[in-house]
């Protein structure tokens, strides 16, 4: 105890002596002339600055992705095709590699090109590359960050999880959904037959048919094909996705403060407002007729969960009216556009390449005869399955994945990418990767067949993206494409209009957020 008291006494004396020395030093310092004092302070600051610079220079310099040198303000815009930027980016990847930087206006963007880089980033680094970058347009469309497509954080995770589980409960990828698709296919064939083999544009009937599939799952019932509100919703959605890929909208995303007056931006926001109004009206009707013991569709399940949270007093429940409306519009748009565009591409390719259409129909006749094709037949239809996959590859519906954003600093393939950097997975470079596909720019179903003629899966087939942001409705889309395509090819032969040769059929994609076939007419001739 005495020893402890002695140690404390020594510490108190040492502290007192230190304070006394410090007071003496400050007194001496303040007694210096002002000029000497300022010189001493300046010298001290210079010493600190030198030590700070030395500490930074001792660190290894970070290696960032290479890329073309940007110009002030406009970045690399002069080097990009604003209508089809994915083509320019594919060319730049040949010079700068699979990970490179471009500047879209003042915005720095890291591009991932090729199967290896895109797969490694989205699948191997799901947390680092898994966030969505919300462009100014997406923010305008969905200011609260609700729904499934243009959102991040806990709300997005919960809405995606709920959508996946609910879509599966309503038969996505199962026999009950197969029956809905086949029923809708019957309506589509009736519309095709009305043209009696004469040329017509397949856009509206195919768009409305695919929209009715997702509607039956979301609302619990289909719409009549002539329902004016349904037609308006489909038309608005189609136009909205088309103009979202226009050059004017791309420039708005780069310079949002300067270009808020852009016409196409106003068109999109007006369509969003009208579609949300129609969704709210449909949800209101379903809410008034809701049976807590029976779910008719996605909306019913959401409303029941919402009521459960309210009854339980859950604070700040994510099952809000806004999340419901935005999730429904997300599902409707995604379920309508990509599948309908792919199916129209398939019919165009069949008219363009009649010898491939012959092989598909021969296989269908041999395997199914006069009966309807079912999902169980897929394993016995390898060539038909290969044609569908090759259609998705060549159609390249979403050449640029919806932009991602790094959630933290990451070193990827030797390059440092800072947190919050916009990342563009270049899906076109994967689907046309010359190191993965034997003839990447040719429509060739053999890409998906082995030497024995059996269907084979290719890792570079990334039509639905990959990782955390992969398409929610992938299994539904796969089922729709297979059943619609086989049913139509069983009953019709698709040809170019009279006086137009196969070589004259244009397969240059229309400009849009997704790549749809160019507007043109086909003939659907009933097979004997």
Res 328: pLDDT:
97
Residues in the chain with pLDDT values less than 70 = 1-60, 171-174
Return d(Cα 169, Cα 162) in angstroms, integer.
10
Q: Give the DSSP H/E element, type plus range, for residue 107.
A: strand 107-113
Q: What is the pLDDT of residues 460-491, one digit of tens each?
A: 999 999 999 998 889 999 999 999 999 999 99
pLDDT at res. 37: 54
Q: How far is CA 392 from CA 83, 203, 396, 431, 463, in A?
A: 21, 17, 6, 9, 6
CA separation for the pair 255, 341 (Å, rounded): 30
CB 344 within 8 A of CB 205: no
CATH top-level class for 144-396+463-526?
Answer: mainly alpha
What is the C-alpha separation between 387 and 58, in angstroms, rounded? 58
At 356, list the tokens.
């491939």
CA-to-CA dists, residue 114 to 308, 322, 430, angstroms? 46, 38, 5
Query: In sequence order, what are the residues at sequence separation of 6 or more whose Cβ sits closer than 8 angstroms to the Cβ of residue 80?
Result: 88, 89, 102, 104
Number of neighbours of residue 229 by Cβ within 10 angstroms:
11
Q: How far apart are the first and last CA of the chain?
A: 110
For 519, the 3-state DSSP assignment is coil
Q: How far apart are CA 159 and CA 464, in angstroms?
A: 19
CA nearest neighbour of 472 among 280, 239, 218: 218
The dihedral built from the CA positions of residue 194, 195, 196 and 202, taken in this order, carries a sign that is: negative
Burial code (b: 16+ CB inside 10 Å, e: under 16) for 317-345 equals: ebbbeebbbbbbbbbbbbbbbbbbbbbbb
* pLDDT tens per residue across span 431-465: 999 999 999 999 999 999 999 999 999 999 999 99
Residue 399 CB neighbours (<10 A):
23
328 touches 283 (CB < 8 A): yes
Cβ atoms of residues 436 and 417 within 8 Å: no
195 and 524 Cβ atoms separated by less than 8 Å? yes
Which pTM does this prediction carry?
0.86
pLDDT the model gives residue 79: 92
pLDDT of residue 33: 62
Of 381, 368, 374, 362, the C-alpha closest to 449 is 381
- pLDDT tens-digit map of 360-376: 999 999 999 889 999 99
**pLDDT value of residue 122:** 96
pLDDT of residue 43: 64
Nearest to 297 by CA among 191, 411, 215: 215
Pairing verdict, β 131-132 and 404-405: antiparallel
Whether residue 159 contacts residue 151, with contact meaning beta carbons closer than 8 Å, is answered with yes
């Amino acid at each position: 105890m005495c020893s402890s008291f002695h140690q404390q006494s020594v510490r108190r004396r040492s502290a007192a002596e230190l304070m006394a020395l410090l007071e003496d030093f400050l007194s001496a310092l303040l007694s210096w002339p002002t000029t000497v004092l300022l010189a001493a302070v300046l010298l001290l600051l210079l010493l600190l600055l030198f030590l700070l610079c030395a500490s930074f220079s001792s660190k290894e310099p970070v290696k960032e992705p290479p890329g073309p040198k940007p110009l002030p303000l406009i970045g690399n815009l002069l080097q990009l095709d604003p209508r089809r930027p994915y083509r320019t980016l594919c060319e730049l990847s040949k010079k700068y590699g699979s990970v490179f930087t471009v500047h879209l206006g003042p915005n720095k963007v890291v591009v991932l090109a090729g199967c290896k880089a895109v797969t490694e980033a989205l699948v191997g680094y799901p947390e680092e590359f898994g966030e969505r970058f919300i462009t100014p347009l997406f923010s305008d469309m969905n200011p609260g960050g609700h729904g499934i497509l243009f959102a991040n954080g806990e709300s997005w995770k919960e809405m995606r999880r709920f959508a996946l589980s609910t879509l599966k409960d309503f038969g996505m990828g199962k026999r009950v959904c197969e029956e809905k698709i086949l029923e809708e296919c019957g309506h589509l064939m009736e519309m095709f037959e009305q043209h009696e083999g004469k040329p017509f544009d397949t856009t509206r009937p195919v768009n409305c048919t695919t929209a009715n599939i997702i509607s039956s799952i979301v609302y619990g019932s289909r719409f009549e094909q002539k329902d004016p509100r349904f037609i308006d919703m489909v038309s608005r959605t189609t136009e909205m996705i088309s103009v979202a890929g226009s050059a004017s909208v791309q420039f708005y995303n780069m310079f949002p403060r300067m270009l808020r007056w852009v016409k196409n931006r106003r068109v999109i926001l007006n369509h969003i407002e009208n579609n949300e109004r129609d969704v709210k009206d449909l949800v209101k009707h379903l809410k008034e007729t809701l049976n807590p013991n029976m779910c008719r569709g996605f909306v019913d399940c959401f409303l029941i969960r919402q009521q459960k949270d309210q009854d339980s007093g859950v604070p700040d429940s994510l099952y809000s009216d806004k999340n419901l409306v935005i999730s429904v519009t997300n599902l409707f748009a995604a379920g309508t556009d990509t599948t309908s565009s792919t199916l129209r591409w398939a019919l165009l390719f069949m008219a363009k390449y009649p010898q491939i259409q012959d092989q598909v129909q021969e296989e269908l006749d041999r395997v199914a005869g006069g009966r309807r094709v079912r999902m169980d037949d897929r394993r016995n239809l390898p060539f038909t399955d290969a044609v569908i996959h090759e259609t998705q590859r060549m159609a390249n519906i979403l050449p640029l994945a919806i932009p991602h954003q790094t959630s933290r600093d990451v070193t990827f393939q030797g390059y440092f990418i800072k947190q919050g950097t916009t990342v563009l997975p270049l899906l076109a470079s994967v689907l046309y990767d010359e190191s993965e596909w034997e003839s990447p720019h040719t429509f060739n179903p053999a890409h998906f067949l082995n030497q024995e003629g059996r269907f084979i899966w290719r890792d570079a087939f990334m039509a639905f993206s990959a990782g955390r942001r992969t398409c929610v409705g992938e299994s539904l889309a796969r089922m729709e494409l297979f059943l619609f395509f086989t049913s139509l090819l069983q009953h019709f032969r698709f040809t170019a209009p009279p006086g137009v040769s196969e070589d004259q059929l244009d397969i240059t994609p229309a400009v849009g957020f997704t790549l749809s076939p160019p507007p043109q007419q086909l003939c659907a001739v009933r097979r004997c």
